[in-house]
């Protein structure tokens, strides 16, 4: 013998009642409100990007300076070879 238990929805779960419609509107409003970044999150991201750029920029400048110096040394070596 199979017993079927009758389940009753809780008042906040019913979608056909006026209260259920209000709850559905509130839930959809919360979804729309939480779909972006806050100002604090954006400021933190920009601060981290600024720190990383600040750390990397001197290394980049140093590397480009060394590259220019090595090209200059190579050019001077070639000119010295051609003169001799």
Task: Tell me whether residue 23 is in a domain.
Answer: no
Task: Tell me whether residue 30 is in a domain.
Answer: no
pLDDT digits 0-9 by tens, 15-73: 555 555 666 666 666 666 667 889 999 999 999 999 999 999 999 999 999 999 999 99
Task: Tell me whether residue 74 is in a domain.
Answer: yes
CB 16 within 8 A of CB 23: no
Q: Minimal CA–CA distance to 24: which of 1, 57, 32?
A: 32
Confidence at residue 35, expressed as pLDDT on a 0 to 100 scale? 72
Count of structural domains, the chain? 1
Report which of residues 12 and 60 the model is more confident about: 60
Task: Tell me whether residue 66 is in a domain.
Answer: yes
Task: Tell me whether residue 53 is in a domain.
Answer: yes
Task: Tell me whether residue 32 is in a domain.
Answer: no
Confidence at residue 45, expressed as pLDDT on a 0 to 100 scale? 96
Task: Tell me whether residue 19 is in a domain.
Answer: no
| pLDDT band with cut points at 50, 70 and 90 for residue 84 | confident
């Amino acid at each position: 013998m199979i017993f079927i238990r009758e389940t009753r929805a809780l008042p906040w779960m019913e979608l056909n009642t006026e209260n259920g419609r209000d709850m559905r509107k509130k839930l959809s409003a919360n979804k729309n409100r939480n779909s972006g970044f806050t100002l604090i999150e954006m400021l933190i991201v920009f601060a981290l990007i600024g720190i990383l750029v600040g750390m990397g920029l001197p290394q980049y400048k140093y590397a480009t300076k060394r590259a220019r110096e090595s090209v200059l040394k190579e050019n001077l070596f070639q000119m010295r070879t051609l003169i001799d």
